[in-house]
A and B are shown apart, each in its own frame.
Chain A
Amino acid sequence: LRKPVRPEGNEAELIARAKKGDREAFGALVKRYEHRVVGVALAVVHNQDDALELAQETFVRAYENLRSFESRSSFSTWLYRIAANLAVDFWRREGRHNVLRGEDAESELSKISNASGDSFRVASQGELGERLGKALKELTPEHRAVILLREVEGLSYDEISEVLQCPRGTVMSRLHYARNRLREILKEFAPN
């Protein structure tokens, strides 16, 4: 079982300095989290250019509001939350998707077909990555965000709940749906 990724080192000191307006210290924090923040934005919008723009905006907002960060959550969770909020707002603004509410997500379990059956591993491993990329596009932003935050960023269910501001139960149901939906899509893509 994997443990969530935890930054080490002098993060608290960097945050304290950045709070006092030290841009160099904030730059070090940007370096430390740029990939993950882009990853969170990418999980929602699934477009590299949009994700980069949103990630930049995330860091600018973080810098502007750094004083409101009170260490109740980890700095990374706080950053991810800003990034997720911006990305979901962006998605709504663009009118690309009707964002699902938590209660709607609860009913998603019924949409999942029988999770048993043949494994999707009928193609070569080389093809799998490509098919997975396509399958991710088929997911809603909420489901993509949940599964990428869990599988790629290694966040716990509670942390995902905090980042996406939805109940832990919703995280669990979305994750269950996303895994099985990906599995189904991968099977659909599989050559006969």
Chain B
Amino acid sequence: MAAHCEEIGLMLGPFEDGELEPHEMQEVARHLAVCPACERLLDDYNLIGRELRAEMASQPPLEDFAQAVAVRIKGVKRPLATRIAQWMDQGVDRVRSPIGLGSLAAVAAALTILIVTPYARHHFAHRALTAPHQVLAVSQTVNPAPEAPQLVASGSLLNSGQGSPAVISRLETATPSVAMWSDPRNDTTVIWLPEGKQ
């Protein structure tokens, strides 16, 4: 075998398998055209391949193989992580269905009501206490308790004397027996009862 034949011989298998680069395929093809020995070798490779396929195709049929596998995998307990992931996948599939989407929306609405409602109540109640209300029907000066701020004007805000106005939120009558105001700065609500009413 010539030196070139040895070199080509290494490429004959990949040539037969179509695993050479295009320029190598051309090189081998050119050599085969002029070298009967390498051509015989390639024919032998080809024949071996055909016979191997025929040999393996003559293996006995696999009776009940799939059934035997099915029995074995029936008893297989997949790893916990796999089962969790599988369960989550199935959950996602359920959610994607129309019924699943409806259920999810209902749950979200219920949760929103449960969570948001108490907060909303508190929020609006707090706003009601801190919003400035006009004082109605105050026609006379009220004698305040020593600690109480002075009521000065009808329909105006009371000044607690520290820059932040106290707000009279409610007077019951023209001669009030009870006055209530809040001090937002101290987050305090004061209920004032005239003397003799305590």
Interface residues of A (CB under 8 A from B): 1, 19-21, 23, 26-27, 30-31, 34-35, 38-39, 42, 48, 52, 55-56, 59-60, 63-65, 67, 114-116, 119-121, 128-129, 132-133, 136, 147-148, 150-152, 156-157, 172, 175-176, 179, 182-183, 186
Q: How far, in whole Å, are A42 and B59 apart by their CA atoms in the complex? A: 10
A182 touches B47 (CB 8 A): no
Partner of B59, one of A1, A38, A147: A38
Residues of chain B lying within 8 A (CB to CB) of residue A52: 62, 65
Q: Does B43 contact A (CB under 8 A)?
A: yes
Q: How far, in whole Å, are A31 and B65 apart by their CA atoms in the complex? A: 8
Partner of B53, one of A35, A152, A176: A152
Sampled A-B contacts (20; CB under 8 Å):
A23-B70, A34-B62, A35-B59, A38-B65, A48-B59, A56-B68, A56-B72, A116-B5, A121-B47, A132-B52, A133-B55, A147-B52, A148-B52, A152-B52, A152-B53, A152-B56, A175-B13, A175-B17, A179-B13, A186-B48
Within the complex, the shortest CB–CB distance from B10 to chain A, in Å, comes to 6
A20 touches B73 (CB 8 A): no
Partner of A55, one of B65, B73, B82: B65
B62 touches A179 (CB 8 A): no
Tell me if B's interface is mostly helix, strand, loop or mixed: helix
Residues of chain A lying within 8 A (CB to CB) of residue B89: 19-20
Q: Does B132 contact A (CB under 8 A)?
A: no
Partner of A34, one of B16, B65, B73: B65
Within the complex, the shortest CB–CB distance from A156 to chain B, in Å, comes to 7
Tell me if A's interface is mostly helix, strand, loop or mixed: helix
A23 touches B74 (CB 8 A): yes
Q: Does B102 contact A (CB under 8 A)?
A: no
A176 touches B10 (CB 8 A): yes
Residues of chain A lying within 8 A (CB to CB) of residue B5: 116
B44-88 CB contact bits vs A (8 Å, 1 = yes)?
Answer: 110111011111101110100110111011101011001001100
Q: How far, in whole Å, are A39 and B74 apart by their CA atoms in the complex? A: 24
A148 touches B43 (CB 8 A): no
A63 touches B65 (CB 8 A): no
